[in-house]
Chain A
Amino acid sequence: QQQVKQSPQSLIVQKGGIPIINCAYENTAFDYFPWYQQFPGKGPALLIAIRPDVSEKKEGRFTISFNKSAKQFSLHIMDSQPGDSATYFCAASMEGGYQKVTFGTGTKLQVIP
């Protein structure tokens, strides 16, 4: 049973555009929501993360928006660049145990010049 639903599956934007990737979760026990970025042939790497006590977090051109009541969160990439072309995974985890992370299915982003 998939606990984190991610959309869209793929996305093509022009350089300078603002791609938006959306995720929704069901388990209200989740309390940490990281995004991972994966370039072709590489492993995923942490990009940015948010806790549910804030509604927005920015790091450079990357912003997470979080809506706790709707159980949704999204990633926005401002002024997107061809170098941002990668697969993005949202994820969710909860405190305790072995740091189990539930990943979304991924969004393949292509930024064209």
Chain B
Amino acid sequence: NAGVTQTPKFRVLKTGQSMTLLCAQDMNHEYMYWYRQDPGMGLRLIHYSVGEGTTAKGEVPDGYNVSRLKKQNFLLGLESAAPSQTSVYFCASSYGSTRVQETQYFGPGTRLLVL
């Protein structure tokens, strides 16, 4: 049981390049999330998904797109990377309930540097 895994662990991009970050979970969770973590800013939600085929915007969605074609995978895309997108990106998942507060399980993170 690997939990939440993220690929790649580290990446360097040049401004304007594109890339896709992959998140996979093996816990059969309905909800999945993408966060970015920046010094002094905590964790900010980029996009989230409440089920296969659904996605929605979080607090800081500009410059990112997501897709959830399979329940276990959640992809985060950067179409044209900018230096402001230099950050550590975390994927998380949770069981999926609108009634009970539940734990979010985080992946190990992807460190992205945009030059």
Contact = CB atoms under 8 A, between A and B. Distances in A.
Interface of A: 6, 9, 31-32, 34, 41-46, 49, 51, 89, 93, 95-101, 103-106
Interface in B46-94: 48, 50, 56, 58, 90, 92, 94
B42 A106 contact: yes
Given A89-B42, A105-B42, A99 B109 contact: no
Q: How large is the interface on B (under 10, 10 to 19, 20 to 34, 35 or more residues)?
A: 20 to 34
B43 interface: yes
B92 to A, nearest CB: 8
Contact of A46 (B50, B104, B108): B104
A105 to B, nearest CB: 4
B42 A99 contact: no
A43 B103 contact: no
Given A43-B90, A45-B106, A95 B42 contact: no
Interface of B: 4, 31, 40-45, 48, 50, 56, 58, 90, 92, 94, 96-109
Contacts of A99: 31, 94, 96-98, 101-102, 104
B106 A97 contact: no
A46 B104 CA distance: 7
B106 to A, nearest CB: 3
14 contacts: A43-B4, A43-B108, A44-B90, A49-B101, A51-B101, A98-B31, A98-B98, A99-B97, A99-B104, A100-B48, A101-B104, A103-B43, A104-B42, A106-B42
A31 B101 contact: yes
Contacts of A49: 101
B103 A46 contact: yes
B101 A93 contact: yes
A72 B41 CA distance: 19
Nearest to B58: A100
